[in-house]
Structure 1
Amino acid sequence: MSERKRLTRIFKMHGLSIQASALDTLLDVVQREAEVGRNKADVNNVIFNIIDEIKDRRIQGGNGSGGRSSSVGNIVTSALLEDVVADFRRDAKDVSDEAVQLLDAFHMPRLDFDRMRKNFSLVSFGKEERTLYGEAVAKVDMFNQRYALIQQRILRQDIFQPKLVTNRLARSAQNNGGTHTITPVESLLGRSGRRFLLGMIVQVEEGKYYLEDHTAQVPLNFSEASLLTDGFVTENSVVLIEGEAIDGVLHVHNMGSPIVENRLDSIKAIGLQNTDIFNSIGSLSEYEKLREQELEHGEDGMFVVLSDVYLDSPAVIEKIERMLEGYSDFNPLPIFVFMGNFTSKPLSSASEGTKAMISYFEDLANVICKFPNVANEGRFVFIPGPNDPGITGVLPRGPIPNYFTAALRSKVKNVMLASNPCRMRFFTKEIVFFRDNLVSKMRRNCLIEPRQDSNGQLSSHAIKTVLDQGHLSPLPLSTSPIYWQHDHALRLYPFPDALICGDRVEQYYETYEECDAINPGPFSNGFNFVVYRPVGETSGSQTKSDVELCEVP
């Protein structure tokens, strides 16, 4: 029996009919497998693996990885077979390259919560018009969504879930030690005694703060307030309050940050289809397949992150060269993330300042090109700082304009100019990169001093604040202006797997509710940086990240 007839018969035995052109492709595969020394049994195993993959794709709708393969009924087309064979030939590097995806803040889908229907929806970029300067209704919607996303999270906590009771004794036990009820602000009128409230702190008049929810607002008296959780309390932050309304003023007794939940619990509540902002995981089966690839190849992935990389400093350029030399022989190479500011002082918009910035990036390109492997194979991500060229002072901010990096992009093959903040996917992991002076901003705007019984680091308070609030900038708009229609790009709900925030304070790493919170520290001061491995080690079906705080000697 000829090989052609034998292969046709094998496919028929599995309920498939293979086209002549697809059969030619399969014969080429068999021939190549035989040429590399595989025996007949190994070649047959390759054929059976191809058939199993084809069946899986037919069950899932017949779509290949590239979106161009298809099958009609039981017919195996040439396009389908080529896609399947191409997937089998991918090596670990190919898989890792495809696992990395960068998402710009201005093209990010928006997660909305409908308070009436109590459901979530993911509004993709392009389905609505978003501008930098929205109408007033966009500002109202921005704060409504911030509050609604926290409120639904709080009301799902056991402590605020009403219990079914059958008698007076059970009801009394519930009131004394069981659940609590969130009282709307408008319901305070005419009620005495302590109540639990959830609201946003707003400044309606100069120096006078109110608690506001979607029903009303009430003046606040903080004179007897005790802060029960770590973190900063600032204007525009959402807080849980235990207090009593007296003469139209809410006297605060106890106050704390909203209760948080880890990423997995949030995804279960929201649904995978509404949390995949990268639009790369269409179903649970695809998610499981990506998890398998993550377990097999993810340990090779590594990010080297630097912040405050002053390119106008000869010492910084020298240390970057030494750092790149240390990683030049790695296989695969890490992904290098450079966060601004990229100059020690803001440059003027005059021609001299523009020329200087262009020359600084060209100097960096020349350093990278000293290592041909790094220049050709390495991937570099550049995230602007507060003083870098472009539209500054408002979040999110766009990438560094191409004009300044033309020489860099012409000499270094893989350069990505990202927004601030930006998000990166590594297999199933989500990493948020953000460059801002969080600690100093929060210290200047805190209404109540943070607790002193934590680890004593202000960085810890700042990171906990943004994660508790589910937002990168829960600050007054006068301090940290935001484009109203792009506020969702600053939200941290669900939690990412890692939040890497470049701040002008000492290096910092902590895990909070299974989220890695990392500050690489300013590279310009001590030449500090961080190495982050999203899949540092695997144990069965579980993965654990690895963080190393480093310094260039």
Structure 2
Amino acid sequence: MLPIHGDASAKVTLYRDRFLLLFQRLSRDPHFSRPIFDSDISDYGSCQISPIQSLVGQTGKRWVMGLISQLEDGHFYLEDLTAAVEADLSNAIITTGFFAENTIVLAEGEMLLDGIFQVRTCGFPPLEDREKSVTMFSQIDFFGGGSLTKEETIRLVELEREAVNDMFVILSDVWLDNEETMENLEIILSGYENVHVVPSLFVFMGNFCSHPCNLSFNSYSTLRSQFGKLGKMISAHQRLKEHSRFLFIPGPDDIGPSNVLPRCPLPKYITEEFQNHIPNAVFSSNPCRIKYYTQEIVFFRQDMLYRMRRSCLMPPSTEETSDPFEHLVATITHQSHLCPLPLSVQPIIWNFDHCLHIYPTPHTIVLGDRSEQKAFQYTGITCFNPGSFSNDSTFVAYRPCSREVELSAL
């Protein structure tokens, strides 16, 4: 078991592992892989990645891969495992996504006489299909649930094909101390109690209180009893209690040791009364990964959109899309990381940064956010934000078999 408090080397490992993960993915991309036999690279349409250390004294166009960092106030650098170079991003043509500190980019440009790397074009490392990643590392169990035999995989495919009626109901920002929220929740539970096939899973994402559970929060016993009331409300719907599962994921302002990621599950003291009514409920960490037959689904509750937009170093490109949610999805998928923000903006437990990696790419990513609900299919990955239930009465009904997202509201 890794310690919560890592030493200095753990912070170095955090950045190195992020870089190497994307670099090994890039090395398999045909546009950036060198030909096996010695020949003109231009014949293959390939771009050779130069180590930043090799830029000294070089002229002409070069491709580099580096992490954007601010080593001096107001001066941005590109860093790889060999060196760092000051970069001028002011005139760069960029691709879709939010370019912030800590994001890893591919940059094409040239060294100026004053030692600054003038960036002409800048983008994120290209994505890799999940099937290609899984095939490349066929012996590695990325999910952590145990490797499956070929026969077991075939059986799961058959079961998934038959589960056409399975549905997940996902709500974010469920304030248990808000009377209107609880009344709306009762309407939803009563509605799904009377449908022909009840949902197989209800996902409740935090925050579970309208006030941040910080040092000035003195109502832990009240929150405990509110979870008890929720359990009593659910148990009153007999079909849901018997046939549905309930998953709880803490939000950024919920009770916990601190505001760092990943967040541990809600403490037993808070959930005990609820579990007396619903003993099979699952209280998970944030982020949370579940396996649905052959699919991998990731749930992440964090107000990422606001923070990403504030941390952006340059206005996002509007060439492909002007939707901020689509820029967010592009950023986290290309970075293979749920929270590629500076550690000063969002602290991360150094030893557990791997919990935020999304590699190989999952089939579905649920991004619980306070912003308006959205759904977006990006390179075969289904991404959606269920919206803020307490603020907008919005939620999502998701059918994993067909990966159909139904944006709903009361």
User: TM class, shorter-chain normalised?
Assistant: over 0.9
| Residue aligning to 1:53 | none
| Residue aligning to 1:104 | none
| Residue aligning to 2:85 | 218
Matched ranges for 1:12-161 at <5 A = 129-161=1-33
- Kindly indicate whether the alpha-carbon contact (under 8 Å) linking 2:96 and 2:317 is maintained by their aligned counterparts in 1: yes
| Residue aligning to 2:183 | 318
- Kindly indicate whether the alpha-carbon contact (under 8 Å) linking 1:290 and 1:428 is maintained by their aligned counterparts in 2: yes
Q: Which has the higher contact order (CA 8 A, sep 6+)?
A: 2
1:550 aligned onto 2:408: yes
Q: Secondary structure at the match of 1:440?
A: helix
Q: Secondary structure at the match of 1:300?
A: coil
| Residue aligning to 2:48 | 181
Q: CA deviation at 1:300?
A: 2.9
| Aligned-partner Cα distance in 1 for 2:211–2:122 | 40
| Residue aligning to 1:540 | none
- Which structure's residues are more often helix, by fraction? 1
Task: Give the TM-score, by structure 2 length.
Answer: 0.95
| Aligned-partner Cα distance in 1 for 2:311–2:144 | 34
| Aligned-partner Cα distance in 1 for 2:381–2:269 | 36
Q: CA deviation at 1:195?
A: 0.2
Letter in 2 for 1:502: G
Matched ranges for 1:350-369 at <5 A = 352-369=218-235
From the superposition, tell whether residues 179 and 349 of structure 1 become closer, same or farther in structure 2 (CA, over 3 Å). Answer: closer
| Residue aligning to 1:421 | 287
Q: CA deviation at 1:373?
A: 2.4
1:506 aligned onto 2:372: yes
- Kindly indicate whether the alpha-carbon contact (under 8 Å) linking 2:96 and 2:321 is maintained by their aligned counterparts in 1: no
RMSD: 1.8
Q: 1:402 aligns with which of 257, 268, 288?
A: 268
Q: Secondary structure at the match of 2:239?
A: helix
Q: CA deviation at 1:308?
A: 0.6
| Residue aligning to 1:345 | 211
Letter in 2 for 1:456: S
Letter in 2 for 1:393: N
| Aligned-partner Cα distance in 1 for 2:361–2:280 | 29
| Aligned-partner Cα distance in 2 for 1:186–1:155 | 19
| Residue aligning to 1:497 | 363
Deviations 1:164-193 (A, max 9, x none): 668xxx73xx42771110000011011101
Deviations 1:512-539 (A, max 9, x none): 1211011000001221111111112xxx
Q: CA deviation at 1:289?
A: 2.4
- Kindly indicate whether the alpha-carbon contact (under 8 Å) linking 1:376 and 1:412 is maintained by their aligned counterparts in 2: no
Letter in 2 for 1:141: T
| Aligned-partner Cα distance in 1 for 2:232–2:296 | 32
| Residue aligning to 2:98 | 232
From the superposition, tell whether residues 281 and 533 of structure 1 become closer, same or farther in structure 2 (CA, over 3 Å). Answer: farther
| Residue aligning to 1:384 | 250
Larger Rg: 1
Letter in 1 for 2:124: S
Letter in 1 for 2:405: V
From the superposition, tell whether residues 200 and 352 of structure 1 become closer, same or farther in structure 2 (CA, over 3 Å). Answer: closer
1:163 aligned onto 2:29: no
Q: Secondary structure at the match of 1:299?
A: coil
- Kindly indicate whether the alpha-carbon contact (under 8 Å) linking 1:376 and 1:414 is maintained by their aligned counterparts in 2: no
| Residue aligning to 2:166 | 301
| Aligned-partner Cα distance in 2 for 1:352–1:178 | 63
Letter in 2 for 1:415: A
| Residue aligning to 2:192 | 327
Q: 1:446 aligns with which of 312, 315, 322?
A: 312
| Aligned-partner Cα distance in 1 for 2:364–2:28 | 24
Letter in 2 for 1:509: A
| Aligned-partner Cα distance in 1 for 2:191–2:91 | 56
Q: Secondary structure at the match of 1:251?
A: strand
1:473 aligned onto 2:331: no
1:436 aligned onto 2:321: no
From the superposition, tell whether residues 306 and 184 of structure 1 become closer, same or farther in structure 2 (CA, over 3 Å). Answer: same
| Aligned-partner Cα distance in 1 for 2:383–2:275 | 31
Aligned length: 408
Matched ranges for 1:250-269 at <5 A = 250-269=117-136
Q: CA deviation at 1:385?
A: 0.6
Deviations 1:291-318 (A, max 9, x none): 122223x323221100011111111101
Q: CA deviation at 1:197?
A: 0.5
Deviations 1:206-230 (A, max 9, x none): 2222111111111111122111x11
Q: Secondary structure at the match of 1:414?
A: coil
| Residue aligning to 1:71 | none
| Aligned-partner Cα distance in 1 for 2:137–2:307 | 32
Task: Give the TM-score, by structure 1 length.
Answer: 0.71
Letter in 2 for 1:377: H
| Aligned-partner Cα distance in 2 for 1:454–1:369 | 47
Letter in 2 for 1:401: P
- Kindly indicate whether the alpha-carbon contact (under 8 Å) linking 1:422 and 1:433 is maintained by their aligned counterparts in 2: yes
- Kindly indicate whether the alpha-carbon contact (under 8 Å) linking 1:200 and 1:237 is maintained by their aligned counterparts in 2: yes
Deviations 1:433-456 (A, max 9, x none): 000011111111111110123332
- Kindly indicate whether the alpha-carbon contact (under 8 Å) linking 1:506 and 1:521 is maintained by their aligned counterparts in 2: yes
Identity score, percent: 39
Q: CA deviation at 1:242?
A: 0.3
| Aligned-partner Cα distance in 1 for 2:332–2:59 | 33
- Kindly indicate whether the alpha-carbon contact (under 8 Å) linking 1:294 and 1:427 is maintained by their aligned counterparts in 2: yes
Q: CA deviation at 1:350?
A: 6.5
Letter in 1 for 2:31: I
From the superposition, tell whether residues 548 and 351 of structure 1 become closer, same or farther in structure 2 (CA, over 3 Å). Answer: closer
| Aligned-partner Cα distance in 2 for 1:483–1:351 | 24
1:192 aligned onto 2:59: yes
| Aligned-partner Cα distance in 1 for 2:277–2:395 | 24
